Amino acid sequence: MSDQARTNTKPQTRRTYPAGYGIVEPVANYRPWDVDEQFQEVYGLVRDATMVDIYRLWTLWFIASQLPDGDVLEVGSWRGGSGVVIARALNAGRAGDRSTDRDIFLADTFAGVVKASARDTYYQGGEHANTSVELVRDLLERAGVPQVQLLAGVFPDDRAHEIEDRGFALCHIDVDVYQSAKETFEWVWPRMVRGGVVVFDDYGFYGCEGVTALVTELAGRQDGSDGRLTIVPSLSGQAIVTRTVY
């Protein structure tokens, strides 16, 4: 979804939202992203290569500092900005010595949104196609994380078999529509390590009601023989679930 950082605290008088949607203005006043010099340096590098706002990028940065052992997967990378934030958080040592043992995969069609359906109110397919493998590779080089691996194609259909034997500590799902988010989650969830985190980027955004519906369906679902999924919604618009049962 688009970067809300410059507009989401200002009244938008010409926009009418349906019931359940409107401008969110949290009253919290702790802004750790303002004083984290490493994060600010990375944000300055990626802000024009992402549609993820500073609040959601900070959440990814902070989560990446706490990951257990395991690889990292992002599905829906667009121009690579959020993937770079995650990779730089790991390379900066925010996850200790374990960061050197991980592989990081960024998956995208590089041809826009796929699998839009009647569950989605805005997306029709093909949106956000203004990217390329070359753009992302250039950003990775400039960010000092060229080791990040790109998976071009529809996920999981085209490329998942190449990483099906991996265990993942983080999966960032930013695919905008119901079916794509569902198939990605169902594929990655059995491969999440204990303590691993899945972040849905699109949960709290008008136009992504399909992803909102999916997260609502997943909340409380039985996870194996002795636990249920507990999903935490964030006022940043993300929804976060941690793998506690394995």
Position 2 confidence tier, pLDDT thresholds 50, 70, 90: very low
Q: Taking residues 111-119, what's their average pLDDT? A: 97
Position 241 confidence tier, pLDDT thresholds 50, 70, 90: very high
pLDDT over 70 at 7, yes or no:
no
Residue-level pLDDT at 93 = 59
Residue-level pLDDT at 228 = 83
Q: What are phi and psi of 60, to 5 degrees?
A: -60, -45
Contact 60, 157 (CB under 8 A): no
pLDDT digits (tens, 9 = 90+) for 187-215: 999 999 999 999 999 999 999 999 999 99
Give the rounded percent of residues in the chain with a pLDDT score beyond 70: 89
pLDDT digits (tens, 9 = 90+) for 29-74: 999 999 999 999 999 999 999 999 999 999 999 999 999 999 999 9
- Mean pLDDT, the chain, integer: 91
Q: What are phi and psi of 14, to 5 degrees?
A: -90, 5
| Least confident span in 27-31, 98-102, 133-137, 150-154 | 98-102
Position 103 confidence tier, pLDDT thresholds 50, 70, 90: very high
Residue-level pLDDT at 16 = 84
pLDDT digits (tens, 9 = 90+) for 160-181: 999 999 999 999 999 999 999 9
Name the residue ranges covered by the structural domains of the chain: 32-242
Model confidence, pTM: 0.92
Contact 195, 169 (CB under 8 A): yes
Contact 171, 102 (CB under 8 A): no
Give the HSE-up count for residue 106: Cα atoms under 13 Å, Cβ half-sphere.
Answer: 25
Q: Taking residues 75-104, what's their average pLDDT? A: 82
pLDDT over 80 at 231, yes or no:
yes
Q: What is the CATH number of domain 32-242?
A: 3.40.50.150
**Residue 158 amino acid letter:** D
Position 222 confidence tier, pLDDT thresholds 50, 70, 90: confident
Residue-level pLDDT at 4 = 44
